[in-house]
């Protein structure tokens, strides 16, 4: 462990939300709470929300390394919400 800090009351009350997106229809998007509740939303509502995913320890380590080295995280970029190009 590198260090630890006590979370503020505001941090403890913050709602953590992720998004998931349909594979076949990119317009199918949901916001997912930590308790598993989902709300259907438009893809635009998922901008700047992290995709629901399982990360192994190597990916977490790489992500932290990229953060501290101010490098773009290509996997994180790839996991951003996608928009349909169909018109």
Write a three-state SS string for 2-38: CCCCCCCHHHHHCCCEEEEECCCCCCCEEEEECCCCE
The full set of domain ranges for the chain reads 13-78
Q: What is the pLDDT of residues 1-46, one digit of tens each?
A: 567 888 889 888 888 999 999 999 999 999 999 888 999 999 999 9
pLDDT score of 74 more than 70? yes
Q: Is the pTM of this model over 0.85?
A: no
Residue 45: its pLDDT value, please? Answer: 97
Q: Please state, in angstroms and rounded to a whole number, the distance separating the CA atoms of residues 71 and 49.
A: 19
Higher pLDDT, 73 or 85: 73
């Amino acid at each position: 462990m590198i260090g630890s800090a006590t979370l503020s009351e505001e941090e403890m009350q913050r709602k953590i939300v992720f998004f998931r997106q349909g594979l076949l229809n990119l317009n199918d998007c949901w916001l997912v709470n930590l308790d598993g509740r989902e709300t259907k939303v438009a893809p635009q509502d998922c901008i700047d929300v992290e995709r629901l995913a399982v990360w192994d320890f190597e990916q977490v380590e790489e992500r932290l390394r990229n953060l501290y080295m101010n490098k773009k995280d290509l996997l994180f970029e790839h996991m951003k919400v996608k928009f349909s190009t169909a018109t």
